[in-house]
Chains A and B, each alone.
Chain A
Amino acid sequence: MTTKLETLPAPDKTPGAGKPTNRKPKVRESRGTLAFSRAQRSKALMKHAILIVAGGLMIYPLLWMVVSSLRPNELIFREPGLWLNSLEMGNYTDGWSALTHPFGHYMLNSAIVVLGSILGNLISCSMAAYAFARLQFTGKKLFFGIMLLTIMLPFHVIIVPQYILFSQIGWVNTFWPLIVPKLLATDAFFVFLMVQFIRGIPKELDEAARIDGAGHPRIFLRVILPLMVPALATTTIFTFIWTWNDFFGALIYLTDPDMFTVPVALRAFVDSQSATSWGSLFAMSIVSLLPVFLVFLFGQRFLIKGIATTGIK
């Protein structure tokens, strides 16, 4: 992966792109072995202690929610520990069918919106990124500046007229208001991410293709796109997580329970329940977090790289 991270001169630089993790620590460690004193060892031990305590504290609420979802409901109010005496699946079956539709219905709705958003972002953002990174055109600087500014634009400034617009077309209670903006590259963050990535691809490759008679569409499809797969993966993963979690958009545009995505369905669940059914509420919360967790588990590399490279000078 060619990114700013790798192109900066660092004394511990080794070849082996695609492995973003701790190169420097290894160097430091080997230096340390010259005199791996007891003081250093106890210092490392202390650090591990701090990290384990801090990490445990961070993760505990999540673990507790998982365990609590497998407990009889009344225990949730008086069992702060993680010990399970029996496995209670009742919360899951109760929660699954607690709303108008089975919970799978809402997950399917979410999946449709997520899929549409991913496709939209991949196509529209990569096209815009190619233009910004590779083509010379009138107004490029101005447009690029505007694009960067829109990354920071608060959604609220456009939501009222956007709602009016979409409701006049008759799109309220359809998925279009959530998907169409992505088809139009309004997630400028990803345009920027891809511009960064394309800039790192050697220009000679484009030139060679051009000499062979390829035009821009061909260069984009055959040269650039295949090389920017890591950036596309990062975009896919972030779009998945952000869209899956998106509450505000769904809250405004989806008021018909048939069309609910997972976050608004969960919200309806909270509102409809008295405090007695935390178990099933927890169970469905876990179900709703599971896809994000799986994506995190398998796509971590791209996530971390994505944040690190867009955040770095």
Chain B
Amino acid sequence: MSAISELSSISRRKGKATAEEKKANGRDNKAAYIFLLPWLVGLVAITIGPMLMSLYLSFTDYNLLQPPEWTGLDNFTRMLSDARLHNSLRVTFTYVFVGVPLQLAVALLIALVLDKGLRGLPFYRSVFYLPSLLGGSVAVAILWKQIFGTTGLVNQVLAMFGIQGPGWISDPSTALGSIILLHVWTFGAPMIIFLAGLRQIPVMYYEAAKVDGASTLQQFRRITMPMLSPIIFFNLVLQIIGSFQSFTQAFIVSGGNGGPSDSTMFFTLYLYQKGFGQFDMGYASAMAWFLLVIIGVFTAINFIASKYWVFYDD
């Protein structure tokens, strides 16, 4: 079970203790908490503690040097009128809602082509998977900066056909597009998950459909899609959460400033600039909590919408 289906099954099962759980005398609290000790310390000191602290800081003005000063909702009202922040939201939303569906569509497409017993499958799979391991690195971001530069690889190839390409990453209208393309390029990880999911669909469903004279397209729509929908959902949730936090690629490609003219100023990049460039820690904390709320809302929408299109076998 994936983390997501596990979470939803916890909420579904609420109140219905299994036989094993009813056996109260079979508890070993002492041993359990000893085993959990590192995790519990981490949870309190590294996760929940800092979370609450940043919630507090979001209502203060704090620059690391003077003690935090309570300013109430100031940071949040400032956010309402911060045009650069609004722009960074637009950039991030574009990245997430163009990049993720595109990446998943490519992942699914390649997984479908790969699935049907092709010779050399492990080789192809490796080739498609490798970029997703390297895609998060600074090195690949550097490569991207060159490829989509004015004299980069893309324009060299275009020049062979007599086309004079623009400076993709120096032009505000295409800079974000090249970073989205980098995201699509890393479709390997969701593709692997799709492949594993496709493999779990019983062959007899397709055989039965064939006997009934269903076309390939009908089989795809009536068998593959419903059976795969939990996995599409899983990928969608994970990729959306992950993409909202994208940072490295935009940082390196734009040289750390989100340029040209803020066209690649991701929300996280702006947060970094506020917090660790200007040491406006209060404002950065407010932004971080805002990001958490955004991600939470979209994940919730995703879960609610899933009732209408995700098909659970059990």
Chain A positions within 8 Å of B, measured between CB atoms, are 4-5, 8, 10-12, 21-29, 32, 44, 47-48, 50-51, 54-55, 58-59, 61-62, 64-65, 76-80, 123-125, 127-128, 130-132, 135-138, 140-141, 143-165, 167, 180-181, 183-186, 189, 191-192, 196, 215-216, 220, 241-242, 244-245, 247-248, 251-252, 262-264, 266-267, 270-271, 275, 278, 281-282, 285-286, 288-289, 292-293, 296, 300, 303-304, 307-313
| Complex alpha-carbon distance, A105 and B141, angstroms | 22
| Complex alpha-carbon distance, A127 and B129, angstroms | 31
Instruction: Determine the chain B residues whose CB is within 8 A of the CB of A184 once the complex forms.
Output: 38-39, 41-42, 45-46
Question: Are A310's CB and B38's CB within 8 A?
Answer: no
Q: Does B225 contact A (CB under 8 A)?
A: no
Instruction: Determine the chain A residues whose CB is within 8 A of the CB of B114 once the complex forms.
Output: 51
Given A150-B47, A161-B49, A185 contacting B200 (CB threshold 8 A) = no
Question: B296 — nearest CB in chain A belongs to which residue?
Answer: A152
Question: Are A65's CB and B124's CB within 8 A?
Answer: no
Question: A296 — nearest CB in chain B belongs to which residue?
Answer: B133
Question: Are B122's CB and A21's CB within 8 A?
Answer: yes
Q: How far is the CB of A241 from chain B (nearest CB, A)?
A: 6
| Complex alpha-carbon distance, A149 and B47, angstroms | 11
Within 8 A of A (CB), among B181-200: 185, 189, 192-193, 195-197, 199-200
Partner of A247, one of B119, B200, B247: B247
Question: Are A128's CB and B131's CB within 8 A?
Answer: no
| Complex alpha-carbon distance, A197 and B219, angstroms | 33
Question: Are A267's CB and B38's CB within 8 A?
Answer: no
Q: How far is the CB of B307 from chain A (nearest CB, A)?
A: 16
12 contacts between A and B (CB under 8 A): A10-B202, A59-B127, A62-B143, A65-B146, A78-B151, A131-B35, A154-B292, A180-B46, A263-B137, A285-B140, A308-B196, A313-B1
Question: Are A156's CB and B42's CB within 8 A?
Answer: no
| Complex alpha-carbon distance, A220 and B28, angstroms | 14
Question: B136 — nearest CB in chain A belongs to which residue?
Answer: A245
Q: Does B71 contact A (CB under 8 A)?
A: no
Q: Does B234 contact A (CB under 8 A)?
A: yes
| Complex alpha-carbon distance, A76 and B142, angstroms | 14
Given A123-B38, A161-B49, A154 contacting B196 (CB threshold 8 A) = no
| Complex alpha-carbon distance, A97 and B216, angstroms | 58
Chain B positions within 8 Å of A, measured between CB atoms, are 1-3, 5-7, 10, 20-21, 23, 26-29, 31-33, 35-39, 41-43, 45-47, 49-51, 53-54, 57, 64, 110, 113-122, 124-131, 133-134, 136-140, 142-143, 145-147, 149, 151, 153, 156-157, 160, 185, 189, 192-193, 195-197, 199-200, 202-204, 230-231, 234-235, 238, 241, 244-245, 247-248, 251-252, 255-256, 268, 271-272, 275-276, 281, 284-285, 287-289, 291-292, 295, 299
Task: Report whether over half of chain A's contact residues are helix, strand or loop; otherwise say mixed.
Answer: helix
Instruction: Determine the chain B residues whose CB is within 8 A of the CB of A22 once the complex forms.
Output: 117, 121-122
Question: Are A216's CB and B31's CB within 8 A?
Answer: yes
Partner of B38, one of A55, A162, A185: A185
Question: Are B284's CB and A160's CB within 8 A?
Answer: yes
Question: Are B137's CB and A157's CB within 8 A?
Answer: no
| Complex alpha-carbon distance, A248 and B248, angstroms | 7
Question: A199 — nearest CB in chain B belongs to which residue?
Answer: B1
Question: Are A158's CB and B39's CB within 8 A?
Answer: no
Instruction: Determine the chain A residues whose CB is within 8 A of the CB of B20 once the complex forms.
Output: 136
| Complex alpha-carbon distance, A149 and B241, angstroms | 12
Given A157-B51, A247-B247, A266 contacting B127 (CB threshold 8 A) = no
Partner of B46, one of A54, A141, A186: A186
Instruction: Determine the chain A residues whose CB is within 8 A of the CB of B291 once the complex forms.
Output: 154, 156-157
Instruction: Determine the chain A residues whose CB is within 8 A of the CB of B199 once the complex forms.
Output: 5, 10, 23-24
| Complex alpha-carbon distance, A199 and B270, angstroms | 42
Instruction: Determine the chain A residues whose CB is within 8 A of the CB of B196 once the complex forms.
Output: 5, 307-309, 311-312
Question: Are A32's CB and B117's CB within 8 A?
Answer: yes
Question: Are A160's CB and B285's CB within 8 A?
Answer: yes
Question: A144 — nearest CB in chain B belongs to which residue?
Answer: B10
Instruction: Determine the chain A residues whose CB is within 8 A of the CB of B204 once the complex forms.
Output: 11
Q: How far is the CB of A118 from chain B (nearest CB, A)?
A: 15
Instruction: Determine the chain A residues whose CB is within 8 A of the CB of B28 once the complex forms.
Output: 135-137, 216
Instruction: Determine the chain A residues whose CB is within 8 A of the CB of B189 once the complex forms.
Output: 307
Instruction: Determine the chain B residues whose CB is within 8 A of the CB of A135 once the complex forms.
Output: 27-28, 31-32, 35
Instruction: Determine the chain A residues whose CB is within 8 A of the CB of B153 once the complex forms.
Output: 61, 64, 80
Question: A244 — nearest CB in chain B belongs to which residue?
Answer: B137
Question: Are A247's CB and B251's CB within 8 A?
Answer: yes
Instruction: Determine the chain A residues whose CB is within 8 A of the CB of B53 once the complex forms.
Output: 161, 164
Question: Are A131's CB and B202's CB within 8 A?
Answer: no
Question: Are A162's CB and B10's CB within 8 A?
Answer: no
Instruction: Determine the chain A residues whose CB is within 8 A of the CB of B292 once the complex forms.
Output: 153-154, 156-157
Question: Are A285's CB and B50's CB within 8 A?
Answer: no
Would you list the 8 A-B pairs with minimal beta carbon distance, nearest first?
A: A184-B42, A25-B117, A311-B193, A308-B196, A285-B139, A137-B32, A161-B53, A161-B50
Known contacts A184-B45, A215-B31, A312-B1; can you find 9 more A-B pairs with CB under 8 A? Answer: A51-B124, A61-B153, A154-B295, A161-B57, A164-B64, A185-B38, A189-B3, A262-B138, A313-B231
| Complex alpha-carbon distance, A163 and B238, angstroms | 26
Question: Are B142's CB and A58's CB within 8 A?
Answer: no
